[in-house]
Amino acid sequence: MDAIESGSAEAAAFDALLEGRLNDPFGVLGPHDTPKGRVVRAFLPGAIAAEMRGTDGALIAPMAAALTHGGVFTGVLPDARPYVLHIQWPSTTQDTEDSYSFGPVLSDLDIHLFSEGSHWDLAHRFGANVMTVSGVEGVLFAVWAPNAQRVSVVGDFNSWDGRRHIMRLRHSAGVWEIFVPRLCGGERYKYEIVGVDGVVLPLKADPLAKATEHPPATASIVDTPWHFPWTDDSWMAQRQQLQAADAPISIYEVHAASWLRPEGDAAGILDWHGLALKLIPYVSAPGFTHIEFLPIMEHPFGGSWGYQPLSQFAPSARFGTPREFAHFVDACHRANIGVILDWVPGHFPIDAHGLARFDGTPLYEHGDPREGFHHDWKTYIYNLGRREVEGFLIASAVFWLRQFHVDGLRVDAVASMLYRDYSRKAGEWVPNQHGGRENLEAVSFLRRMNAVISERAPGAITIAEESTAWPGVSAPVQNGGLGFSYKWNMGWMHDTLQYLAQDPVHRRWHHSDLTFGLLYAFSERFVLPLSHDEVVYGKGSIYARAPGDSWQKLANLRAYYAFMWTHPGKKLLFMGNEIGQRHEWSHDGEVAWDVLQEHGHAGLQRLVRDLNHLYFHEISLHHDADPNGFRWIVGDDADQSVYAYERHAPDQAPCVAIINMTPAPREKYRIGVPLAGSWREVLNTDSTFYGGSNLGNNGLIQTESVAAHGYGQSLVLVLPPLAALILKPES
């Protein structure tokens, strides 16, 4: 038996090891040259015996168990040759290389880039990564915890014993790392961290985990390496053009868990394979160009809909493996559908196993609650002034776009990031260095994020959910803007839904709710959103918001959607809105597919399909970035609640939209048009095909040589009740 001299530095180190206080395991474990020779010490609690063998399996030297420190085994190597620990456990034997025989694995460049917040391949170096080191396969674990006294990786592979795999501290960056040989993908793990005050924290999930347990379980999973055989070269080559400001973009927004439940299982969830089979054809048939998912990054609480994520690099295990998500994206691209993910860089939940007080101190979050705590959502706010945090988040954005070929990120709650006083009373916020309310760190982060994405993921887009008048959200970074590709037009959404809810008899007093948006429609590159936020928290469904009986509600929606699809701006519709779902959305339910048994609701679905197809094929309707592409024909007929306007693009035939937002038909309504001749009624929302009364203009109308609205010729029309007409010149 090996004796360790009582009172020696070595004894003190092993005392600390047994008590869980050792913070420099490489100083005492593994091989060390001593006057006695090359001494190897290993901590193997519960082992019956151990010895060192060569890589060929031949015995090199026995190891003796320490009398004074249970679990410590010691042996002497005759030279510096590689060795394998042969361990006899009570019920099995194990051969493995010694974690403490390996030097640092992360390169100095890795450490430098991480410290500078510029390591864009962070996920493949930090977290848990299967790799080969010195010819040995295993897993490298690396985690940032600069204020910790000790960090250990624990899991099933070491009986969740924090003394077994204590990590090496890379002092210059506060990063801890260890290579665990012969470990494979699929292993559960967490980090055991002793905080700055010596207290062992609740076990922490890996901030850079690429796979997780299925909630409510909270362990991280070592992701098995996968190399997906992508078949989307054609899509990726033309993606930049397909997502440009002059391209048709119509987005179907989806909460993946509640879009459709598996047959016979009201609480079940379709996995990525099931979603590929069901969702992709459903989105493709009506001509949507993109699917946008509410956040699919792993989140502990399903009721947050994903907006309180804790794993910024891991697709939720609710829907399958990361590779299966890649398969879903690839299938979307083969169907010419882009994929956008909602992404949340503004805040994170306070769950003890997550980022909160990660090393016992405010690390990812601000320490001052006036900066670091979000009162509305009871979450912590990322400290974007720390380079490491900024780099962590930007690396996450790049990871989704590159690893999974995702086509865009919709950045959540940008307004809450931009203003230090967002949803705070006087005295509850800290001014910036100039005494202002602008969050300069967030501005810098968003600009840098968009610049990096532009460089690292060309053709990908970013979309800001931003509800204020902050200037230049979608202006280029080099021109002083935030650099987003698009911005949600929250003002348009608010005003037009407010108008929709009015009884038609009162709409004359709210006429400007539909016209006001054109005053700023070209100040940014906009997406017009009818999002999930508009069908929750007592707001009711879009259908329920419209006045009148069922027929009138659907007619209102048909006219309103035609207004939306002919208005400048890309389109976004939350699931269920396309069929006029009657009740408010619930994440515990599913889309009310049963309403499609009724002609009016099925007709609304057909109208959305036809609007998408018209929008896609008529360049004038998706020529969004040019103010010259829109002209009011009738914008002031408040008494009759009629609107008419022209959409056009260079070298293209114009489209004219006329909308009657009252249930009274308008006979002999004259509007001026830019071209003489025949005009075809290419879409009439009052068609019986859509559930309407079939009032209209028999398909073709001839201009008269009567000047109106600044044009030398005009059309005399029948305007159906609560309906929209879209006209095109016949030749």
* Catalytic option among 412, 534, 590, 686: 412
Taking Cα atoms as reference points, which of 336, 345, 337 lies closest to residue 364? 345
- The structure tokens listed for 50 are 């151990």
Query: H/E/C letters for each residue in 651-662?
Result: CCCCEEEEEECC
Looking at residues 71-95, what average pLDDT do you find?
94
Pairing of strands 290-293, 570-574: unpaired
Predicted TM-score of the model (pTM): 0.96
In order of 296, 488, 496, 638, 641, the CA distances from 502 in angstroms are 36, 24, 10, 14, 12
Interatomic CA distance for residues 244 and 232, integer angstroms: 19
Question: 36: pLDDT confidence band, cut at 50, 70 and 90?
Answer: confident
The answer to whether 730 is a known catalytic residue is: no
Taking Cα atoms as reference points, which of 426, 343, 420, 313 lies closest to residue 374? 420
- Taking only the tens place, the pLDDT of each residue in 299-313 is 999 999 999 999 999
Interatomic CA distance for residues 104 and 500, integer angstroms: 63
CB contact at 8 A, 731 and 703: no
In order of 415, 421, 580, 621, the CA distances from 425 in angstroms are 16, 7, 39, 43
- Taking only the tens place, the pLDDT of each residue in 398-410 is 999 999 999 999 9
In order of 140, 165, 172, 198, 362, the CA distances from 155 in angstroms are 14, 10, 27, 22, 25
Single-letter code of the amino acid located at 381: I
pLDDT at 20 over 90: no
Q: What is the percentage of the chain residues whose pLDDT exceeds 70? A: 99
Work out the mean pLDDT of the chain and round it to a whole number.
Answer: 95
pLDDT at 67: 78
Question: 5: pLDDT confidence band, cut at 50, 70 and 90?
Answer: low
pLDDT at 217: 96
Q: How crowded is residue 617: how many other Cβ atoms within 10 Å of its Cβ?
A: 11
pLDDT at 1 over 50: no
- The structure tokens listed for 524 are 């940014």
Interatomic CA distance for residues 570 and 59, integer angstroms: 70
pLDDT at 2 over 70: no
- Cα first-last separation, the chain: 100
- Taking only the tens place, the pLDDT of each residue in 491-537 is 999 999 999 999 999 999 999 999 999 999 999 999 999 999 999 99
* Catalytic option among 330, 390, 441, 465: 465
- Taking only the tens place, the pLDDT of each residue in 417-473 is 999 999 999 989 999 999 999 999 999 999 999 999 999 999 999 999 999 999 999
The answer to whether 465 is a known catalytic residue is: yes
- Taking only the tens place, the pLDDT of each residue in 96-113 is 999 999 999 999 999 999
pLDDT at 6 over 80: no
Q: Which long-range contacts (CB under 8 A, 24 or more apart) does 11-14 make?
A: 11/68, 11/69, 14/66, 14/68, 14/69, 14/72
User: What are the structural domains, with CATH classification, of the chain?
Assistant: 9-101 (2.60.40.10), 108-221 (2.60.40.10), 246-364+386-426+458-619 (3.20.20.80), 625-729 (2.60.40.1180)
pLDDT at 462: 98
Contacting residues for 282 by C-beta, under 8 A, at least 6 apart: none
| Beta strand segments in 431-582, E | 461-464, 486-488, 526-530, 570-574
Task: Identify any residues that bridge with 315 across adjacent strands, giving them in sequence order.
Answer: 297
pLDDT at 397: 98
Q: DSSP for 9-24?
A: HHHHHHHHHHTT--S-
- Taking only the tens place, the pLDDT of each residue in 114-173 is 999 999 999 999 999 999 999 999 999 999 999 999 999 999 999 999 999 999 999 999
- Segment (H or E) for 688: none
Alpha-helical regions (H) of 335-408: 369-372, 387-403
- Taking only the tens place, the pLDDT of each residue in 601-636 is 999 999 999 999 999 999 999 999 899 999 999 999
Single-letter code of the amino acid located at 639: D
CB contact at 8 A, 125 and 119: yes
